[in-house]
Amino acid sequence: MSRTRISRTIRFRNKLAFVVLLNFPLTTLDQRLAEGEHWTRRQWAEARLAQLFSTRIPAEVNQAISETQADAELYIDDYKICMHHLLDAQEGRPFPAGLRLITHWNLRDEIKARYGDTAGGLTRQRMIQRVMERIVDQSIPQVVINNPQVDWNPFSNEVKVSAVADLGAPAPAGMRPKWAPGT
């Protein structure tokens, strides 16, 4: 929950907002534009103070908003791609060991970082592009998300158990591969 939303809720709970609204007029944007040029500094301060409390959002709505925002942030924070576990057509690993990127922002930044990379930069950019396409069209295998125990070829969409242990972290619960190496 944002600081402003919390403080508004508290101010209504402790009656401060009601005192402000009883003593200072609420103004509309049209009023402020039409009359504001002739207002004193105090009138502007009163209008701005009252404007802080022009809406009252019920606590349960604020709570639902906060929970939704927290869920969305957790979803994004856990949606990582283990880049060293991306395989090209020759089973090569174009990315360095230990590189784990949050999808969307970090993938975008990695594409931008590869613009000046003359040694395989375009190949890496195209691989990241394909990863992003798989995310958008929802064809990314669920097991590869934030899972350093599998290797994935984003072009063929093949997934297999990884022989490399570069991140030293277990796969998230429920995301461990259910097949044996070589199958």
Tell me the per-residue pLDDT of 64-80, one tens digit each, with 9 for 90 and over: 998 999 998 888 888 89
- Which tops the pLDDT comparison, 19 or 183? 19
Residue 62: both structure tokens together: 């604020």
Q: What is the pLDDT of residue 4?
A: 55
Average pLDDT over residues 27-52: 93
Residues 52, 56, 60: CA angle, nearest 5 degrees = 135
pTM over 0.85: no
pLDDT for 8 equals 56
Mean pLDDT value across the chain = 83
Given this model, what pLDDT does residue 1 score? 47
The pLDDT of residue 170: 54
